[in-house]
Structure 1
Amino acid sequence: MDLPRIFTIRESNHRIHNPLTPDKYAVLGRALHLAPGTRVLDLASGSGEMLCTWARDLGFTGTGVDISTVFTERARARAVELGVADRVEFVHADASGHVADEPVDVAACIGATWIGNGVAGTAELLSRSLRPGGLMLIGEPYWRRTPPDQETAQACHADHPSDFLPLPDLIERFGDLGYDVVEMVLADQDSWDRYSAAQWLTMRRWLDRNPDDELAPQVRAELATEPARHARYTREYLGWGVFALMKH
């Protein structure tokens, strides 16, 4: 049980595996107005940056669950580095079936709603761990501009234009599921660049060190096409944000 190697190659130097920057995560944490000791469950927690920095800066506690052995080990090391290993723990497991042993104050899935086969299923999964009156955090793409055709949608990692919604429609979708949207922090084009462009240098340096690796042709092909694809499609059409939700 693990992520394919290509993911950890691309993002081996990333602490955050989505287009939210450290500053935006700090803004999000402060915007929730939660007390020290707040308990957080983070499903698909990646390298643990959100939990670790919130534990350091806001006094939160919590658990992260991720399927990647590489990212889970990095999260544990980050907790030690920031001096919060006594407040957060990271579990290597499939987050798609994980429910907390005791209800938490914040249940989060930031940018990995495939664990619940979409927003509705992920909200239902998170609700099983959330105390009454708690906060749910969901990170999800949306269309900044509606793609004109399926080719454009596929270049933004969607099978069809209907896979994502415009921002107002996504917010209304949360309402249809029974939740108030009580806060949001959105990526912008610059933060998309920091997420995507940082992968290119990582891939190039990995290729220089590993020219004979079995994945070298795939990494080479991505490096040849990803910068233009990102500039033409992702940063123009695809938005991304974290939405704080409370049950009606």
Structure 2
Amino acid sequence: MFRIGEFSRIGSVTIETLRHYDALGLLKPAKVEPSTGYRYYTTKQLQTLNQIIALKEVGLSLEEIARILRENLTADELRGMLKAQLVVTESTIEAAQRRRERILARLNYLNQEENMPAFDVTLKSVDAFTVAAIRETVPTIEQIPQRWGEMFMTIARWIKANGYHSGPAITFYHNESYTRQHIDTECAFVIRTPKIDKVPQPESPIIVRQLEAVAQMATTVVADYRIEGLEPAYNAIGQWIGDHGYCIAGPPR
């Protein structure tokens, strides 16, 4: 048998940790000397200690580890718990990666802000026109660039298959407020055709619809069309609208 200090060195854990495991019932000493209170552990208990350490390192709580030891779970049951823990770990990694991307985007924005030229916001009228569009809710803002690309490709294939000529590409945000999740977005190509009733309705998810004319639209030109590049442009347009006494009357394009 090993005294607690010796067992601590062999198992590479502190004496305090062994006492904590004892208090929780995870790993009780094989023997406690009544007269001195010295704790003794056996060689066989090293296997239990190693199992506790291994399960703790994969993120399981001490309560979960206690259940595993207490109920003597089968290999399939243990495998199921570890798979569940893997899902949690991967989700944490993905969240950290998204947070990292937001931090980098913010740093890039701050770096550009110092040398950023003022946006030239102008008012212009926009005629009515026909568009082929797809509208969907994208789970996260990080997925927007990929989904936009896929949506535009789907529309472009339909336009080409039907012999139409496409005009400018347009995107819409239909959410009432800014959000980084569940983004209600729409991608569209202008169809160069004189009458909407001459365009056959495509199969879902593509729709053909008429965009109404806009008498006054605040616009600006953005060279950087990434998500990060659009933010300062929207800020500039919003500030211009407020400064000149206008109100927002529709979703941004």
Question: Shorter-normalised TM-score: what interval?
Answer: under 0.3
Return the structure number with greater relative CO, CA threshold 8 A, min gap 6.
1
Larger Rg: 2
Using the size of structure 1 for normalisation, the TM-score is 0.21
